[in-house]
Amino acid sequence: MSAPGGPSPRRPAFAPLAEETRAAMRRLMARYPNPRSALMSMLYLVQAEHGCVSEAGIEEVAGMLDLTKAEVASVATFYTMLKREPLGRYLVSVCTQPPCALAGAGSLRRALEEELGVGFGQTTPDGAITLEEVECVCVCDGAPAVQVNYESYEHLTPEAAVELVRKLRSGGAVPPPVHGSVPVPREAIHRELAGLGGHDPDRGGGES
Amino acid sequence: MSAEVTVTIDGREIAVPAGTLVIRAAEMLDIYIPRFCDHPALAPHGACRQCMVEVEGQRKPLTACTTPVTQGMAVRTQHTSEMAREAQRGVLEMLLINHPLDCPVCDKGGECPLQDQTLAFGPGASRFAGEKRRYPKPVRISPLILLDRERCVLCARCTRFSSEISGDRFIALFERGALQQVAAYEDEPYESPFSGNIVQICPVGALTAEPFRFRARPFDLTSTPSVCTLCASGCRTIVQTRRGEVARILASEDPEVNEEWICDKGRFSFPRAQRPDRATEPLVRKDGELVAVSWAEAAALVAERVGSARERGAPIGVLSGGRLADEDAYALSRFARGVLGTADVDSRSWTADGEEDAVFASMLGSPGATYSDIEVSPLVLLLGCDPREESPILHLRLRKALNRRGSALFEVGPRATALAREPGARSILCSPGTEAGVLLSVAWLLVNPFGLPVDDATKEGLSSPGRAALRDASGVADEPVLALAEALRAAGGRAVILAGERLSRSPGALAVAWNLACALGARFGHVPRRGGFRGELWAGLHPRLLPGGRRVEDPAARAEVERVWGASLPPVAGRCARAILSEAGSLGALFLVGADPASDFAGFGASAVEAAPFVVAQDLFLTESSRRADVVLPARGPAERAGTSTDWEGRAAEFEAAVAPAGLSLADRDILAMLSGALGEAFPTRTRDLRAEMRVLERSPQAPAAVGAPTPALPEPDGLRPFSLVTYPLLLDAGTMLAGSGALLEIARRACVEMHPGDAAALGVSPGDPVRVASAMGEIVGPARLSAGLARGSVFVPANQEGLRALALVDPFAPVTAVRVERA
């Protein structure tokens, strides 16, 4: 998909979805009286496989649900957790809303941008980390907060944040956050968001 | 169900059905609440927030367009409530933050709800000091429709029209927040035959149509109420002119007919009247060339040649083409039979035997199906008609019945229509020409096991030996036939049966469908493709029917017509168009009035026009036929003369002339009166005299009567050409009336050879491969398109698409054309 109306920049071409992804999508569709209800979950599965909601994925999902590509793109461009550019292995989301800003989110951002060499909305050239700005991750008491693949790290200093992304980048073990668990690679996260099994048994979401 | 509740709006009480929206209840009291997103034909949405009102007992203002009234509700609008006023002012101010103040260059300026409401209720100045949101302009969401995103107020009328009304869901709201915008997907353009409607219902200037953009200001236009005659839907329109030329055509409102929609063909094809090939003065062939002459000279020549043909007793053929106004059609029938004394009169491009005559005769004298019947019917049986291509507004009404009313639809034919995808629709695919067999099986089930009472003749017809063979040839399984029979039994007299003119390609099918309707007490509708056909049929432009559907062999009926015309009528049946054309060489004269056999019958028609010794063409254009004629008489176009048009329902509507006629052109009826005068015969010269005669000849309505037992015929297999050709013209094609329509033709579908995937696999054909289709008449090559919505053993090629004209293949003497199909 492109910014509607604008000239579209060249996008990486994606392979057709794997047959097992399609089978998973069909299972999701079967969960609802109206298969269209599975649209968001199916887009997360596209994202699990392609790293973003690819044009190829939009076309396949539209075909399976008998929707137009415009209808699918309308949903895909509305939700901010559905991405249009391929994500890195880890998505680092920096909250910049007032509670975090007052607690030093600005210095966190500068430290991370300097360490990674990329700004908000960009991915490091090695494909390890995508840095983004988010609005409130609901741990204001832990400000400033940063999420890594949707696991929240609280009370981060710039040094601790830099240390965290270095470990993520080098593939080393990272400490678990105070609440939640060690971030898992994004494929697993997007499968979980799709409603197909969770890495954390406490959160449920197993295949039904 | 519809209990009444009483509400008070601005202190005035009104009782309305429960569930009525506050905004509608206010309208009933003539209280106008400002709105942008609200549209009575679309589901409530509440997107623009402009219609805020105060409701007693509610702390916050509510949107009048989404709030149903309740018993005792007290509503106060902007007229009486400071809260409502304040809320509406705030919404308007917010909409204007990003809306540009470019009204002086905006096409909507002068007819813009946002402009009007800002003037009426808005602030004089904005408090917003920042920079407005801007976009590169405009986005071309289709060849016809342009979108200026900065003007959009996100009311979603256009996207809701596309999903709720037309079903062409190619536009949607993309993005979010301040960047939310209407868009089409990059490689999926908004190509809909109904796209112009979104321009008309856009409450701002965000959507504009290419043919009108920057052409005129709305307040400089002169409006004339009119009726579109390009198909038989009967849409009410408004023709708007500027300096004597048509500037645009808008949909007008008629809840009984087109509601408030028209198709893009009706809206955007008007440049046709200003084309270089327009006939503007009488032409006579001299030394092989058509040269301009006076009306007097042309009329004298016609009188001389026709007079001598009459003296010699040479037959005279008269063909029309479904394009005439009712008065012109009647005048032509009167001229042909009363003045020329011929019975060789036809307006059809197909041949059918006596069963069709009997159906038409009974149909013209009895009440038939209407749009309203369709909307409330639990079951519609659709035969030989593709409404989206042949009667687009009928398509919208059927779509509405299926989606909003939960009706069911069965269609029987070789190719599934666009309606087959709608909920409750079912397509029974059969080999071309075998529809009669499927319908006879349905009728047999209804009469025998289900016990539907019918007369003996009908019952006897059901046992005809041809039925089983035809049913076998159709390739239809038992289950769908049983399902259709059961659905018809359940619906009974509430069913509606619609038959298109292509049903006549299956001999006997029209009669079975008609008899089924009679036996069930169901409403029947005949849906022709061209807008003038119903009027021409009524007028008697048919070899065996006189005005009003009187049978030519009925002496009493003949006498009624003779009394009005003061002429004696030939008591014999005439020949059909194909018979006339195939013996064109022996004619004394051939009259073509809005008829173009050289196009409709391709090569066969062209050679017939060449062979006829004297051809008079009354036409708007120099068509393939009229350019071969000996005399061309320029006729007035649709917006150039007043008249009446009768739609497929049989509903007549009058229209006025909107522009001055082209050149020296005359209305067809006036040309015929002139020719009668030149022949020394009396003829009504005034439209009102013609109308008075037509009223006298109107028959009092009778109950529809079953016709004689049909004689189905089995299509003969052709060993060399094992495929059957399915063909009909698409809505937007290379037809005469569309030439010169510019951007409209860019959305005409690219022509393909459509085949069933199974047949394609057997022939080793993949999508896009060039495929050769050859009949005894000729051959064409086009890219393959695979579709499971086509009967096995059939191949569909649109009749008249640029670069691929199946008309050249059609065998004029066979109901179904046999073809050979192979990879080219």
Strand partners of residue B618: B593, B633
The three-point CA angle B622-B628-B634 to 5° equals: 35
| Cross-chain residue pair A74–B172, CB shorter than 8 Å | yes
d(CA B48, CA B63): 9
Q: Mean pLDDT of all residues in chain B?
A: 93
Q: Is the pLDDT of residue A208 over 50?
A: no
Residue A32 has pLDDT above 80, yes or no: yes
Taking the Cβ of residue A5 and every Cβ of chain B, the question of whether any pair is shorter than 8 Å is answered with yes
Over the stretch B622-639, which tens digit does the pLDDT of each residue have? 999 999 999 999 999 989
Average pLDDT over every residue of B682-698? 96
Q: Report how far apart, in Å, the C-alpha atoms of B591 and of each of B190, B266, B527, B666, B732 are.
A: 43, 28, 26, 16, 28
Note the ipTM here. Answer: 0.89
Q: How high is the pLDDT of residue A204?
A: 45
Residues of chain A found within 8 Å of residue B187, distances taken between Cβ atoms: 69
Distance of alpha carbon B498 from alpha carbon B395, whole angstroms:
12
* pLDDT at A9 (0 to 100): 45
Tens digit of pLDDT for each residue in B500-526? 999 998 888 999 999 999 999 999 999
Report pTM: 0.94
Closest A-chain CA to B141 = A5
Q: At what angle do helices A55-65 and A39-50 cross, to 10 degrees?
A: 150
Which residue on chain A is closest to B190 by alpha carbon? A70
Of B139, B174, B184, the CB nearest to A77: B174
Torsion, CA B624, CA B628, CA B633, CA B636, rounded to 10: 0
pLDDT of B31 strictly over 90? yes
Dist CA B73 CA B294 (whole Å): 73
| Beta carbons of B555 and B371 less than 8 angstroms apart | no
Per-residue pLDDT, averaged over B632-653, amounts to 96
A201 has pLDDT over 70: no
Residue A123 carries which side chain, given as an amino acid letter?
T
B735 versus B605: the higher-pLDDT residue is: B605
- Test mutation, B185, B187, B191, B207, chain A, max A CBs within 10 A: B185
Q: What are phi and psi of B22, to 5 degrees?
A: -55, -40
**HEC sequence for B94-131:** HHHHHCCCCHHHCCCCCCCHHHHHHHHHCCCCCCCCCC
Residue recorded with tokens 């060489």:
B585
Quick check: A110 and A158 in contact, CB under 8 A?
A: yes
Assess whether the previous peptide bond of B717 is cis (omega < 30° from 0): no
- How big is chain A by its Cα radius of gyration, in Å? 18
Cα end-to-end span (Å), chain A = 31
Question: Mean of the pLDDT values across residues B552-580?
Answer: 93
Q: What is the pLDDT of residues B192-211, one digit of tens each?
A: 999 999 999 999 999 999 99
CB-CB under 8 Å, A78 with B188: no
Nearby residues of B427 by Cβ (< 8 Å), 6 or more positions away: B410, B411, B413, B416, B417, B420, B789
Query: Among partner residues A6, A68, A78, which is closest to B185 by beta-carbon distance?
Result: A68
Dihedral angle, C-alpha A48, B171, B151, B31, nearest 10 °: -120
Give per-residue pLDDT as tens, B755-813.
999 999 999 999 999 999 999 999 999 999 999 999 999 999 999 998 889 999 999 88
Residues forming a β-bridge with B424: none
pLDDT value of residue B390 = 97
**Cα B226 off chain centre by:** 15
Which chain A residue has the Cα nearest residue B147? Answer: A5
Span B132-140, mean pLDDT? Answer: 90
Percent of chain B, pLDDT > 70? 99
Q: Which of 8-67 (A) contact B at CB < 8 A?
A: 8, 58, 67
User: What pLDDT does B695 receive?
Assistant: 97
Q: How far is A82 from chain B (nearest CA, A)?
A: 11
Residue B84: both structure tokens together: 């409502």
User: What residues does B428 pair with on adjacent strands?
Assistant: B412
Radius of gyration of chain B (CA): 29
Are residues A74 and B176, on separate chains, in Cβ contact within 8 Å? no
In this predicted structure, the answer to whether residue A57 has a pLDDT above a threshold of 50 is: yes
- Measure the CA–CA gap between B35 and B51, rounded to whole angstroms: 5
**pLDDT at residue B713, as a whole number:** 77
- How many residue contacts between A and B have a Cβ separation below 8 Å? 54
Which residue in chain A is spatially nearest to B139 when comparing CA positions? A5
Mutation test of the interface with chain B: which of A69, A80, A84, A135, choosing the one with the most B Cβ atoms within 10 A? A69
B43-47, B528-532, B602-606, B711-715, range with the lowest pLDDT: B711-715
As a whole number, mean pLDDT of residues B361-388 equals: 96
- Residues A54, A55, A59: CA angle, nearest 5 degrees: 120
Residue type at B59?
R
The whole-number pLDDT of residue B550 equals: 95
C-beta of residue B538 within 8 angstroms of C-beta of residue B232: no
CB B640 within 8 A of CB B660: yes
- What percent of chain B clears pLDDT 90, i.e. is strictly above it? 83
The closest CB to that of B171, out of A6, A58, A70, belongs to A70
* Residue showing tokens 């021409």: B536
**B162 to chain A nearest CA, in Å?**
11
Of B149, B172, B175, which is closest to A70 when you measure between CB atoms?
A: B172
CA distances from B798 to B316, B417, B634, B730 (A): 33, 13, 30, 6
**What span, in angstroms and rounded, lies between the C-alpha atoms of B116 and B128?**
20
- Across the range B437-449, mean pLDDT stands at 91
- Pairing relationship of beta strands B589-593 and B550-551 according to DSSP bridges: unpaired
- What is the SS3 assignment for B195? coil
Nearest CA in chain B to A4: B183
- pLDDT over threshold 50, residue A4: no
Neighbouring residues of B803: CB distance < 8 A, sequence distance ≥ 6: B751, B782
Measure the CA–CA gap between B121 and B51, rounded to whole angstroms.
12
Taking the CA of residue A4 and the nearest CA in chain B, the distance in Å comes to 6
Q: Which residue has the higher pLDDT, A142 or B468?
A: A142
The answer to whether the beta carbons of residues B550 and B540 sit under 8 Å apart is yes
**Residue for token pair 């490689």:** B187
pLDDT band at A205 (very low <50, low <70, confident <90, very high): very low
Q: Which residues of A17-53 are buried (b: 16+ CB within 10 A; e: fewer)?
A: beeebbebbeebbeeeeebeebbbbbbbbbbbbbbbb
Confidence band for B491, pLDDT divided at 50, 70 and 90? very high
Cα–Cα distances in Å, from A32 out to A25, A29, A57? 12, 6, 21
Nearest to B411 by CA among B484, B350, B345, B461: B484
Distances in Å between the Cα of A145 and the Cα atoms of A133, A138, B581 are: 11, 9, 86
Q: What is the pLDDT of residues B326-350, one digit of tens each?
A: 999 999 999 999 999 999 999 998 8
Instruction: Please give the pLDDT value at position A10.
Output: 47
Residues of A in contact with B183 (CB under 8 A): 4-5, 70, 73
Per-residue confidence band for A8, with pLDDT thresholds at 50, 70 and 90: very low
- Residue B819's contacts (CB-CB under 8 Å, 6 or more residues apart) are B721, B723, B724, B725, B773, B774, B775, B795, B809
State residue B318's pLDDT score: 98
Q: Taking 50 as the threshold, does the pLDDT of residue B257 lie above it?
A: yes
Average pLDDT over residues B604-628: 96
- Report residue B469's pLDDT band, with 50, 70 and 90 as the boundaries: confident
Task: Please check the confidence at residue B461 and state whether its pLDDT lies above 80.
Answer: no
What pLDDT score does A12 carry? 63
